[in-house]
Amino acid sequence: MVRDFSVFALGILLLLFYGCVRAAPPEPAQLPQEARPFTPLWVQQSNENPAAVKQQLLSGFSDNLSDPYTIFLAYYDAIGGLEKLKSIKSSYSEGSIRLDGMEGSFRHWEKRPLKYRTEEKFDAVFQTEGDSGQVSWQLDTNGQVLLIKDHESQKRREIARRIELYEHLDRHSPVFTLTLKANTIVKGQECYQIVLTNRINGDISRFFINTNTLLMVKSISSQPDMEVITYYDDYRWIEGIQIPFHDFSTYLPWEKEEETTISRYTINPAVSEDFFAVPRRKRDFRFLTQKHSAVIPFLFAENILYLEVTVIPAWPDPMARTQQANKNPTAAVQPSTVRFSDNVSTRYWVLDSGASMSVIDADYAKELQLQQHGRIKGHGFGDLFSLSFATLPTYRVGSILFDPQTVFVVKNLTAQSYEPEIAGILGYDFLSRFVVEIDYDHKTVTLHDPEHYQCNSCTGTVVEAPLKYRTFTIPVTLDHRYRGDWSLDLGAHTSSIHFSFAEKNNLLQRRGIETISQGISGISFEKTVQFNDMETGGFHIDHPLVSIPLKRGKGATALGEIAGNLGNDILRHFNLILDYENQQVTFMKGKNFRNHPPRDKSGILIGRSEFRHPMISFVAPGSPAQKAGFQAGDIIVNVDDRKISSGTAVLPLRDILREEAGTTHIFTLTRNGQQIRLPLTLENLFPVAPDSGHFQKPQ
């Protein structure tokens, strides 16, 4: 599965970098009492007697800059003064940007209050994000619009609003507190160190201000999911304001780098309010029938959904397509106008709601003669990996035809898969175009045109599921006490708790069975723990198995604002409706709601050797397999007198390890050049639950 690499907004703010992560403003009732709307002293009185107000703010402070509020005021004076800053109602900047291995350009507009628009253009991708003043939005490189509604982003937007009003300068603010720490050296410069905390969320900001020039040299923004370290230099005077024309940021733990250089900065340009409005999404798909939905069968193996995707390298009749689109851009393409050439390629792709963008295997992209661009770091479930970009030609899924799209390119995607081998991953920018209905009972995915969708037979529970990192987040409770927002991840075969949530709730010490999982980012080491109960959407699943990472890692397991990942081992108990436009998920009880799928009873993970021969990839400590003498690296040559050779399917071998407890299988293995025979008797690794779930309406 893939996680969002997130091309972060440029975030060149006049005052503080805090506004780089914004979201829709919360209603006052959603905020704690101390975070309700507040107008600071400076704003209340600045139009009456600004000098007197400033003197009042400074009253009682010593003149040796030993107070953090005094230092911040001195910093503002050094870059032009509060009065000049307050007179700035809008700004525009442009320049160059480097993001990891990609170089491009940016344009950035701001207008008070809280409106902004940032455009970033690279060779491989072009994306825009902004804030209309009412809601924050993103327009991705494939023309899809996402409204930012998750709770933590809403809180950060409220913080940005208050900072824009200079509330952080008021020592009586019910929200902000400035604290002065010991001076420190930053790149050879002695700096004041000021810490900004707030009572809306747990974010902490640190500012390093040169003791001589009183210019900001460095800032650190610490959030549960990441830490952003930024250095500022090349200050220049623009219309009475000093602006840092160069900054360099590092995003941890993802090890991402972003460098921006301003070439032009304009203060108070005329900018229309409409310029910041939420843009219209691009419509780049066509139904090949007269219907407004398509029912597509999926292969369900090892708790993963596989769809057939047909890539069409070249349209044989582009004029027919153009003429049809010009007549009615929203109409379905008539089957008679679509004639596929002989060089189409049909492969299995994984359906993955946890992938921020669709992905194609690098070797498959080369086979299709796709040109790759750029190089950027991404993070998977446990660690980091490298990505590039390519334009996927026209492709078809079921009876839906898609225009070319930009996708990630990763190495070894096909090589790391088993049965079936996959050529790519269908992620957010595929799924978000539709209302998506997942029917685990009949193994079908129905893609509905959102412009025509009506849910006439919905009998389940609708859950508000704001998209974060382009993935649905839903509330989940374990054992009636461990509550948090979890990602809904169709690309995950198991469910898991993130390290930060496990650490915070003392779950790292829970006993379980050690295991490993393989993803794009490599191997993750985890332990599988059985809980008593899981609740989401009013439904309860009894005795769920949930994985807990053994270390923090640098990928999704390190996220602090998301508690865990809900995979298909839990989701398969339901049928689902994923409504991307309204950011809602509907849970409907499936036919197998009360039935747990067969579980492993050996403690073995069977994979493949470098020569594609089935082998023992992992043996859990204390498991029946370890007690029987199995070791990681053993090559399987025979099971119950059945010959196993290179290319033998792995999944049927895994299936026999899920048979009834007490079943014995005889394995012939090759270890260090010698053959050995080991009997393996299966045992229940976890208590067996007769019923897997029940429904209880939320109180």
pLDDT at 312 over 70: yes
| Distances in whole angstroms, Cα of residue 226 to Cα of each of 97, 118, 150, 534 | 21, 21, 16, 28
Q: Residue 665 in contact with residue 625, Cβ under 8 Å?
A: no
pLDDT at 203 over 60: yes
Measured in whole angstroms, how far is the alpha carbon of residue 635 from the centre of its chain?
Answer: 37
Among 688, 508, 691, CA closest to 601: 688
pLDDT at 695 over 60: no
Q: Residue 556's pLDDT band (boundaries 50, 70, 90)?
A: low
pLDDT at 302 over 50: yes
Q: Tokens 């295991």 — which residue? A: 515
Using CA atoms in the order 283, 284, 287, 293, what is the torsion angle rounded to 10 degrees? -50
Query: Looking at residue 404, what is its pLDDT?
Result: 95
Using CA atoms in the order 452, 455, 456, 461, what is the torsion angle rounded to 10 degrees? -170
Token digits for 640? 């119950």
pLDDT at 450 over 50: yes
- CB-side exposure of 650: number of CA atoms within 13 Å? 21
Helices (H), 531-685: 568-571, 624-628, 651-656
Query: Looking at residue 290, what is its pLDDT?
Result: 86
Query: What's the mean pLDDT in 9-31?
Result: 30
Intra-chain end-to-end CA distance of the chain, in Å: 35
Token digits for 504? 């915070």
Q: Residue 67's pLDDT band (boundaries 50, 70, 90)?
A: very high
Q: What is the largest CA-CA distance in the chain?
A: 93
Q: Tokens 């900018």 — which residue? A: 271
| DSSP notation for 187-252 | TTEEEEEEEEEESSSS-EEEEEEETTT--EEEEEEE-SS-EEEEEEEEEEEETTEEEEEEEEEEEE
- Phi, then psi, of 606 in degrees rounded to 5: -95, 130
| Distances in whole angstroms, Cα of residue 31 to Cα of each of 26, 177, 686 | 7, 18, 42
Mark 186-216 as b/e (b = at least 16 C-beta within 10 Å). Answer: eeebebbbbbbebebbebebbbbbbeeebbb
Q: Where are the beta strands (DSSP E) in 78-125?
A: 90-99, 102-111, 115-122
More reliable by pLDDT, 678 or 60: 678
Q: Residue 471 in contact with residue 4, Cβ under 8 Å?
A: yes
Q: Residue 574 in contact with residue 588, Cβ under 8 Å?
A: yes
Rounded Cα–Cα distance for residues 566 and 696 (Å):
19
Q: Residue 106 in contact with residue 115, Cβ under 8 Å?
A: no
Token digits for 67? 């107070």
Q: Where are the beta strands (DSSP E) in 569-673?
A: 574-579, 584-589, 604-608, 614-619, 635-639, 642-643, 664-671
Contact residues for 450 (Cβ-Cβ < 8 A; gap 6+): 433, 434, 435, 579, 580, 581
Rounded Cα–Cα distance for residues 261 and 98 (Å):
9
- Exposed, middle or buried: residue 625 (CB in 10 Å: 0-12, 13-18, 19+)? buried
Tens digits of residue pLDDT in 89-145: 999 999 999 988 889 999 999 999 999 999 999 988 899 999 999 999 999 999 999
Token digits for 556? 């999704």
Query: Looking at residue 166, what is its pLDDT?
Result: 94
Q: Is the peptide bond before 253 cis (omega within 30 degrees of 0)?
A: yes
Query: Looking at residue 378, what is its pLDDT?
Result: 56
Token digits for 65? 């800059």
Query: Looking at residue 381, what is its pLDDT?
Result: 47
HEC secondary structure over 405-458: EEEEEECCCCCCCCCCCEEEEECHHHHCCCEEEEECCCCEEEEECCCCCCCCCC
More reliable by pLDDT, 332 or 379: 379
Token digits for 672? 């260090």
Rounded Cα–Cα distance for residues 536 and 495 (Å):
13
Q: Residue 516 in contact with residue 525, Cβ under 8 Å?
A: yes
Domains of the chain, earliest start first:
17-276 (2.50.20.10), 285-448 (2.40.70.10), 461-597 (2.40.70.10), 604-681 (2.30.42.10)
Query: Looking at residue 272, what is its pLDDT?
Result: 95
Q: Residue 362 in contact with residue 353, Cβ under 8 Å?
A: no
Q: Residue 597's pLDDT band (boundaries 50, 70, 90)?
A: confident
pLDDT at 580 over 90: yes
Among 380, 378, 288, 372, CA closest to 334: 288
pLDDT at 558 over 70: no
Token digits for 322? 């153009």
Which helix (H) or strand (E) segment holds residue 496: the answer is strand 496-497
Among 489, 641, 653, 655, CA closest to 572: 489
Using CA atoms in the order 426, 576, 288, 314, what is the torsion angle rounded to 10 degrees? 0
Query: Looking at residue 65, what is its pLDDT?
Result: 79
Residue 362: other Cβ atoms inside 10 A:
21
Query: Looking at residue 468, what is its pLDDT?
Result: 93
Rounded Cα–Cα distance for residues 198 and 194 (Å):
13
Q: Residue 64's pLDDT band (boundaries 50, 70, 90)?
A: low
Q: Residue 436 in contact with residue 450, Cβ under 8 Å?
A: no
Query: Looking at residue 320, what is its pLDDT?
Result: 41
Tens digits of residue pLDDT in 215-256: 999 999 999 888 999 999 999 999 999 999 999 999 988 788
